[in-house]
Amino acid sequence: MDNAIFFIGLDDTDHIDLGCTTENFNDFLNYLAEKINFSIISRRLVRLWPFANRRTRGNAALSAVIKLNINCENKLYDVSDDWFQLLLSNISSHPSSNLEASPVLIISKSQFSEQIYWDTVKGHVDLNFRLNEIKKYDCKVYAGKSHWGVIGASAAISWIPSENHSYELIAWRKSSMIGKKRIIDMKTVAELDNNFPETFVNRDPTKNRGLIAPRTPCPVLYGIRGKSPDILENAHKWLQSNKNVEKSSDYAVHCTNQLSDDHVTLSSGTVISKPLISKGAHSSVKVIMDGKLNTLVAFSQGGSVNHLLRSLNPGDIICWTGLYSPSDLSIHLEKLTISDAVPRIISRPLCCNISMKSAGNNQNLRCTKCNSYSEKYWRGYIPIFSNIDMIHNWTEPSPSNRRHLSKPLNLGLPLLNNLIP
Ligand SMILES: [Zn+2]
């Protein structure tokens, strides 16, 4: 009996107010399991470029690597087609929306080039370009009227877990509960955090807010993140044994690119303007990076990143991670540090408890009280940004204001190798 490996990807199945590709994909694997024998080698949840036009919520796509007897190959395609037709009919009953689901399921006999993943996590991908790109692979593509889902589905197949990968256990709600308030209290989430220290991003201590349960009407009950599948299963069993926690209908552990920083590159530059602080509480500053002018923007949700940006002075050398926004042509900051600050000027030297004044060009400073003279100089200091919440001089937003893809500083600092401004 010869076994073969198949890579399966799915994306663009959900409506802005209902459904979730994670649940659809779980449903697909359950449907398949009822009809054919196969084993799952790996399940993957891949987050993609946060500025993609067609994203619904977290811009996630799903994939799995499965193994089955090669004689079942045609059966796999037939059963997948049956399921896909059911999905299409299900989607046709969605309420109308300006972002209609455009599901695509791909089954491939080989993994796609990793470049497909990198292109899709870091920037915009043209649909026709991608459709052409995957033609060279021996794969089946299931689609309805439109093919938008091919972008995420192909990216999910092409992702190769790096050392930056982590896991997320997703538990789904019983259908009778969807739309109702999720039953998971803050006290239990805090206990989860204490009892399972190898799980992460369970809550935002700065806001006393749980982060495992979504706030949308989707079918996900909660997601627990961590470094190993075993720990997540134990944490899930513990939660489900707790009488204050809603019972899930099903769950699965996914290997994921969340918390990897794969979507950003580390950059460095010199500040050349005073920060501009707008009424909407966001702020911006001009920088020179690789000889080119750029604008860096921090939003009020950026918290300490926004505070640090506001304290910058022209001449400061800074490092950051951020995303270039195609809508306002600026870089939206995620993490920020000052690698070399210019001295801040306080005042002219003091005499008789007041600042001395310049008497004009090429003149000394003079005290207006006692008439003493002094050479011209400024009093200044090198700033230490100790008032800002920082880890090894880097600052980031609070956990509830970070993207799924952003790596928290306590899981590792951005690498500063080879960075010379
Ligand atoms: Zn004086």
Distance, CA of 44 to CA of 11 (rounded, Å): 12
Instruction: Name the residue among 306, 303, 265 with its Cα closest to residue 407.
Output: 265
How many CA atoms are closer than 13 Å to the CA of 252, on its beta-carbon side? 22
Residue reference for tokens 């009488």 = 243
Three-state SS at 52: coil
Do 125 and 194 lie in one domain? The reply is no
pLDDT at 162: 86
CATH at 210: 3.90.600
Q: Where a domain ends, among 116, 141, 158? A: 158
Both tokens of residue 420?
Answer: 């010379």
Radius of gyration of the CA atoms of the chain, in A: 27
Do 69 and 198 lie in one domain? The reply is no
Do 74 and 174 lie in one domain? The reply is no
Q: Where a domain ends, among 256, 282, 299? A: 256
**Alpha carbon of 208 to ligand 1 centroid (Å):** 54
The 8-class DSSP code of residue 216 comes to: S
Do 353 and 313 lie in one domain? The reply is no
Q: Is residue 72 part of a domain?
A: yes
Do 370 and 386 lie in one domain? The reply is no
**Alpha carbon of 358 to ligand 1 centroid (Å):** 13
Q: Is residue 247 part of a domain?
A: yes
Q: Is residue 418 part of a domain?
A: no
Do 239 and 113 lie in one domain? The reply is no
Q: Are 318 and 312 in contact (CB under 8 A)?
A: yes
CATH at 23: 3.30.70.2200
Do 8 and 154 lie in one domain? The reply is yes
Q: Is residue 284 part of a domain?
A: yes
pLDDT at 381: 84
Q: Are 394 and 322 in contact (CB under 8 A)?
A: no
pLDDT at 206: 81
**Alpha carbon of 372 to ligand 1 centroid (Å):** 6
pLDDT at 300: 87
**Alpha carbon of 126 to ligand 1 centroid (Å):** 70
Q: Is residue 46 part of a domain?
A: yes
Do 314 and 353 lie in one domain? The reply is no
Q: Are 366 and 373 in contact (CB under 8 A)?
A: yes
**Alpha carbon of 352 to ligand 1 centroid (Å):** 4
pLDDT at 1: 66
Distance, CA of 75 to CA of 32 (rounded, Å): 10
Both tokens of residue 327?
Answer: 């809508």
Q: What's the domain range around 282?
A: 265-343+382-411
Do 48 and 108 lie in one domain? The reply is yes
pLDDT at 386: 63
Do 279 and 174 lie in one domain? The reply is no
Q: Is residue 416 part of a domain?
A: no
Domain count of the fold of the chain: 4
pLDDT at 98: 63
CA dihedral over 282, 283, 288, 289, signed as positive or negative:
negative
Both tokens of residue 20?
Answer: 């979730």
Q: Is residue 417 part of a domain?
A: no
Three-state SS sequence of the chain:
CCEEEEEEEEECCCCCCCCCHHHHHHHHHHHHHHHCCCEEEEEEEEECCCCCCCCCCCCEEEEEEEEEEHHHHHHHHHHHHHHHHHHHHHHCCCCCCCCCCCCEEEEECCCCCHHHHHHHHHCCCCHHHHHHHHHHCCEEEEECCCCCCHHHHHHHHHCCCCCCCEEEEEEEECHHHCCCCCCCCHHHHHHHHHHCCCEECCEECCCCEECCCCCCCCCEEEEEEECCHHHHHHHHHHHHHCCCCCCEEEEEEEEECCCCCCCCEEEEEEECCCCEECCCCCEEEEEEECCEEEEEEECHHHCHHHHHHHCCCCCCEEEEEEEECCCCCCEEEEEEEEEECCCEEEECCEECCEECEECCCCCCEECCCCCCEECCCCEEECCCCCCCCCECCEECCCHHHCCCCCCCHHHCCCCCCCCCC
pLDDT at 168: 97
- Ion ligand 1: residues, CB within 5 A, are 351-352, 367, 369-370, 372
Q: What is the DSSP string of 246-303?
A: PPEEEEEEEEE-TTS-TT-EEEEEEE-SPPEE-TTS-EEEEEEETTEEEEEEE-GGGT
**Alpha carbon of 369 to ligand 1 centroid (Å):** 5
**Alpha carbon of 371 to ligand 1 centroid (Å):** 6
**Alpha carbon of 216 to ligand 1 centroid (Å):** 66
Q: Is residue 420 part of a domain?
A: no
Determine how many CB atoms are found less than 10 A away from the CB of residue 313. Answer: 17
Do 283 and 406 lie in one domain? The reply is yes
**Alpha carbon of 353 to ligand 1 centroid (Å):** 8
CATH at 275: 2.40.50.1010
Phi-psi region of 395 (alpha: psi -120 to 50; beta: other; left: phi over 0): beta
Give the pLDDT of the chain (421 residues) as one tens digit per residue.
Answer: 689 999 999 998 877 666 789 999 999 999 999 999 999 999 999 999 999 877 666 788 999 999 999 999 999 999 999 999 999 998 887 777 666 788 999 999 999 999 999 999 999 999 999 999 999 999 999 999 888 999 999 999 999 998 889 999 999 999 999 889 999 988 999 999 999 999 998 988 888 888 899 888 889 999 999 999 999 999 999 999 999 899 999 999 999 999 999 999 899 999 999 999 987 679 999 999 999 999 999 998 888 999 999 999 999 999 999 999 998 899 999 999 998 888 888 889 999 999 999 888 888 999 999 999 999 999 988 877 765 677 778 999 999 899 999 999 988 887 654 344 3
**Alpha carbon of 351 to ligand 1 centroid (Å):** 4
**Alpha carbon of 350 to ligand 1 centroid (Å):** 8
Q: Where a domain ends, among 132, 158, 184? A: 158
Do 335 and 391 lie in one domain? The reply is yes
Both tokens of residue 214?
Answer: 């979504």
